Amino acid sequence: MKIQNKDVWVFIEQRNGKPADVSFELLSKGRKLAENLNGNLKAVVIGSKIKQLAAETFKYGAVEALVIDSPELEHYRTMPYSRILTELAELHKPRIILFGATVIGRDLAPRVASHTKGGLTADCTDLQISNVKYLKNDYENLLLQIRPAFGGNIIATIITPEVEIQMATVREGVMRLDPLPVPVNGRITEIPYVSNEFDNLVKIIEQHRQENKVNLKGASIIVSGGYGIGSKSNFKLIQELAALLGGEVAGSRAAVDAGFLTADRQVGQTGVTVRPKLYIACGISGAIQHRAGMNESNKIIAINSDPDAPIFSIAHYGIVGDAMQIIPMFINVFKQKLR
Amino acid sequence: MDLHSIVMVKQVPDTANISGQVMKEDGTVNRAKLPAIFNHEDRAALELALRIKDEHGGKVTVVTMGPPRASDILRECLFMGADEAILISDRKFAGADTLATSYVLAEAIKKVGNYDFVFAGRQAIDGDTAQVGPQTAEKLNIPQITYAEEILEVTETSVKVRRKIDGGYEILESKLPVLITALKDSAFPRPFKAKRVMAYKNSKTLLELEKLAEGNSLLYTDQLKEEYQSKHLYIQTFTMDDLKLDEARCGVHGSPTKVHKIDSVVLAGGNQEMVEPNKAGISNLIDKLMEDHILG
């Protein structure tokens, strides 16, 4: 298969006209992928009154923003958004399209991939460009879509060698935000919106959105608990320690699934990726999915009763013991030192 | 008003209980070695469909694509109240990614036909991709409402749904037919009904009847099938040929995503400093953190 196009597209997600952080993170990564491919980085912006937002993408290296601006497109709706993006993709055949692994991205990307018969990998933790030999064939400059898989025992590198458009979703915080010192002198290309009968099959009756009060990404200290904490009431100790240190409370997926804390505090591949000054992991075994979300923390303290828990391998300081006993000790000693 | 719901369900390996021995060399999963369970969100999806039937009449058909043993969860669907269950199974479906899976499911749903709702769980715990629902909707050319939290109102031609969005929720109204993917908390699945367990515990798929016939020279598959059908114990089975599918779009061949390589997780190890689990150890640790201006 001869592939001509080398462009990298990023779908720019906006909510009430505000861009999602993950979109600019993806532009930052997409810029490097486009450099490797020798192609152009382009932003696709759909919404209402979004030209200014579109121009912001130039700060992250987009050389062109494809803008579809109409009052009817103010809020994300599956049907018009997926149709518009599908039509654009089929017309221009970008080599790569990246989406945030948000509710919107996970609603939109599969629909586009289905129509274009493209490959799509969810929740990637890394993206690279590389030549690949697969089943005795040589492929040039494929997108390596890297993600932990199956219980976290393995890291899988997924490729989509036989398709023109390679697609991936990435969680917020996984890629580093990397604005350019001087924005690109980019071009805004406006594409008119022509509605069709399918676009309005689903109507928005109401929408309620609160600004996310939890800011794990910005926290400099995070105290995190896992399934090993045992119960929601035991989690109060985690909260107490976090409050004392001026940090945020977080947890592993197992802890969220067990109902110990809310999903917006989940750290890991399918949660938030954090890079705090200090990350204290309590009763967390440290499956790869969790480590993917915190292993770039400046300092990691691991507290776990199992000396073989994988979390110790990435910790700077390891304490083998019951978190329920170690945390109160930590709290007391720290309080004494503050006096 | 007689609404017909088709529910897509999946039997999944219990990913909470995985050992390292289940990965095959090509990076796919040896599902035979894993305990298999009913994907929780799919069970919630079935409950949503059953409630629509309870309130408005109609029927509920469940479909699953999987190996022969996936019939276990179809029986569970019958125990809960599903009217009809269909197993979609063929060796040629093996190794399917979400694109190939959604192709087969969409064709099966078209064959069943005449539906108002298609339900599914938001995602399956073995892949967490949440892609099969939207990709099936796209192929059926119908709208979708993903991340459903609650069904608020159903009429003969429309549905109102509350769904999760990033940082909140929205209420959508869709024309029917529509595909809805359900979050786990959207509905608490009803328990099995004892009467239905008694009635359907012996229901069998074609593959299971064939096995039965193989093991006993006095039994013939066709006869068994007729007998089970007359007793409403026959679970329909669709193969690739039944659905007249394009083989190039099924299984490994129809899957654009390929596993290029698998790396086992290498743990660095040895670099960490172990802290004694006592007051002195922790005091020492806190001093270090304070010196480094990480604490205090």
Residue B14 has pLDDT above 90, yes or no: no
CATH dotted code for A221-338: 3.40.50.1220
Contacts A319 to B, Cβ<8 Å: 274-277, 281-282, 285
pLDDT in tens, B53-101: 999 999 999 999 999 999 999 999 999 999 999 999 999 999 999 999 9
Distance CA B39, CA B85 (A): 16
A212 in B contact zone (CB under 8 Å): yes
Residues 127-186 of A with CB under 8 A from B: 132, 134, 144-145, 148, 150-163
Contact at CB, B15 and A330, closer than 8 angstroms: no
Distance CA B21, CA B33 (A): 8
Distance CA B97, CA B258 (A): 9
Contacts A111 to B, Cβ<8 Å: 134-135, 137-138, 144
Instruction: State the pLDDT at residue A296.
Output: 87
| Domain spans of chain A, in order of start | 8-190, 221-338
Q: What is the mean pLDDT of residues A35-48?
A: 97
Contacts B134 to A, Cβ<8 Å: 78, 107, 110-111, 114
Contact at CB, A102 and B166, closer than 8 angstroms: yes
What amino acid is encoded at A245 in this protein? L
Instruction: State the pLDDT at residue A305.
Output: 95
B113 in A contact zone (CB under 8 Å): no
Instruction: State the pLDDT at residue A337.
Output: 87
Statement: the pTM of the whole predicted model exceeds 0.90: no
Question: With contact defined as beta carbons under 8 Å apart, do A299 and A320 qualify?
Answer: no
Report the sign of the C-alpha dihedral through residues B89, B95, B101, B103, in that order.
Answer: negative
Residue B238 has pLDDT above 90, yes or no: yes
CATH dotted code for A8-190: 3.40.50.620
Which of B138, B171, B253, B266 would you mutate first to test chain A, the one with the most A CBs within 10 A?
A: B138
Per-residue tokens: B228: 């089970």
For residue B254, being part of any structural domain is answered with: no
Query: H-helix or E-strand containing B151?
Result: strand B144-154
Which of A3, A15, A111, A206 would you mutate first to test chain B, the one with the most B CBs within 10 A?
A: A111
B166 in A contact zone (CB under 8 Å): yes
For residue B48, being part of any structural domain is answered with: yes
Q: What is the mean pLDDT of residues B20-46?
A: 78
Residues 255-274 of B with CB under 8 A from A: 256-265, 267-269, 271-274
Distances in Å between the Cα of A294 and the Cα atoms of A155, A297, A298, B286 are: 16, 6, 9, 21
Instruction: State the pLDDT at residue B270.
Output: 54
Residue A247 has pLDDT above 90, yes or no: yes
A312 in B contact zone (CB under 8 Å): yes
Instruction: State the pLDDT at residue A49.
Output: 96
CA distance, residue A162 to nearest chain B CA (Å) = 7
Q: What is the value of ipTM here, to two decimals?
A: 0.90
pLDDT in tens, B152-197: 999 999 999 999 998 899 999 999 999 999 999 999 999 999 999 9
Opening angle at CA A134, ends A132 and A140, nearest 5: 30
Contacts A103 to B, Cβ<8 Å: 146-147, 164-166
CA distance, residue B221 to nearest chain A CA (Å) = 38
Domain of B164 in residue numbering reads as 3-249
Q: Could you tell me which residues come within 8 angstroms of residue B175 by beta carbon, excluding any fewer than 6 positions away?
A: A201, A202, B143, B157, B158
pLDDT band at residue B1 using 50, 70 and 90 as cut-offs: confident
The gap from C-alpha B280 to its chain's centroid, in whole angstroms, comes to 52
pLDDT in tens, A45-79: 999 999 999 999 999 999 999 999 999 999 999 99
Instruction: State the pLDDT at residue B190.
Output: 97
Instruction: State the pLDDT at residue B223.
Output: 93
Opening angle at CA B140, ends B134 and B141, nearest 5: 85
Instruction: State the pLDDT at residue A48.
Output: 97
Instruction: State the pLDDT at residue B263.
Output: 82
Instruction: State the pLDDT at residue B267.
Output: 59
Q: What is the mean pLDDT of residues B210-232?
A: 91
Distance CA A74, CA A72 (A): 6
Instruction: State the pLDDT at residue B250.
Output: 97
State chain A's mean pLDDT as an integer: 93
Report the sign of the C-alpha dihedral through residues A102, A107, A111, A117, in that order.
Answer: positive
Domain count, chain B: 1
For residue B182, being part of any structural domain is answered with: yes
Q: What is the CA radius of gyration of chain A?
A: 22
Question: With contact defined as beta carbons under 8 Å apart, do B17 and A153 qualify?
Answer: no
Residue A235, number of CB atoms within 10 A of its CB: 21
User: For the purposes of burial, counting CB atoms within 10 Å of the CB of A288, is it exposed (0-12), middle (13-18) or buried (19 or more)?
Assistant: buried
Per-residue tokens: A322: 């019951």
A243 in B contact zone (CB under 8 Å): no
Which of B170, B252, B279 would you mutate first to test chain A, the one with the most A CBs within 10 A?
A: B170
Q: What is the mean pLDDT of residues A41-45?
A: 98
A4/A206: higher pLDDT: A206
Per-residue tokens: B183: 């979050």
Distances in Å between the Cα of A62 and the Cα atoms of A54, A66, A261 are: 9, 10, 38
Which of A150, A244, A256, A275 would you mutate first to test chain B, the one with the most B CBs within 10 A?
A: A150
Same fold, A8-190 and A221-338: yes
Q: Which residue of A has its CA nearest to B20?
A: A153
pLDDT in tens, A71-107: 999 999 999 999 999 999 999 999 999 999 999 999 9
Question: With contact defined as beta carbons under 8 Å apart, do B119 and B5 qualify?
Answer: yes
B20/B76: higher pLDDT: B76
Instruction: State the pLDDT at residue A289.
Output: 87
Q: Which residue of B has its CA nearest to A292?
A: B265
Instruction: State the pLDDT at residue A2.
Output: 60
Which among B143, B268, B275 has the least Cβ separation from residue A314? B268
Distance CA A290, CA A271 (A): 9
CA distance, residue B242 to nearest chain A CA (Å) = 23
CA distance, residue A204 to nearest chain B CA (Å) = 5
Distance CA A85, CA A110 (A): 12
CATH number of residue B133's parent domain = 3.40.50.620
Q: Which residue of A has its CA nearest to B281?
A: A319
Q: Which residue of A has its CA nearest to B102?
A: A114
Residue A13 has pLDDT above 80, yes or no: yes
B134 in A contact zone (CB under 8 Å): yes
Opening angle at CA B45, ends B40 and B48, nearest 5: 130
Long-range contacts of B189-198 (CB under 8 A, 24+ apart): B189/B43, B189/B44, B189/B46, B189/B47, B189/B80, B190/B47, B190/B50, B190/B80, B190/B81, B191/B80, B192/B76, B192/B79, B192/B80, B193/B79, B193/B80, B193/B81, B196/B78, B196/B79, B196/B80, B196/B81, B197/B79
State chain B's mean pLDDT as an integer: 92
Distances in Å between the Cα of B155 and the Cα atoms of A35, A77, A202, B117, B173 are: 53, 22, 14, 12, 11
Contact at CB, B147 and A82, closer than 8 angstroms: no
Distance CA B237, CA A61 (A): 53
pLDDT band at residue A324 using 50, 70 and 90 as cut-offs: very high
For residue B262, being part of any structural domain is answered with: no
A324 in B contact zone (CB under 8 Å): no
User: How many residue pairs from chains A and B have C-beta atoms closer than 8 A?
Assistant: 236
Residue B18 has pLDDT above 60, yes or no: no
Q: Could you tell me which residues come within 8 angstroms of residue B274 by beta carbon, excluding any fewer than 6 positions away?
A: A317, A318, A319, A320
For residue B87, being part of any structural domain is answered with: yes
Distance CA A44, CA A30 (A): 13
Phi, psi of A280 (to 5 degrees): -105, 110
Distances in Å between the Cα of B56 and the Cα atoms of A27, A111, B228, B278, B292 are: 48, 30, 29, 64, 66
A14 in B contact zone (CB under 8 Å): no
Q: Could you tell me what percent of chain A has a pLDDT over 70? A: 98
**B68 HSE (CA, 13 A, CB side):** 9
Contact at CB, A334 and B278, closer than 8 angstroms: no
Per-residue tokens: B58: 């109609």
Contact at CB, B260 and A122, closer than 8 angstroms: no
Q: What is the mean pLDDT of residues A183-210?
A: 95
Q: What 3-state DSSP class applies to B88? A: strand
Contact at CB, B170 and A313, closer than 8 angstroms: no
pLDDT in tens, B176-185: 999 999 999 9
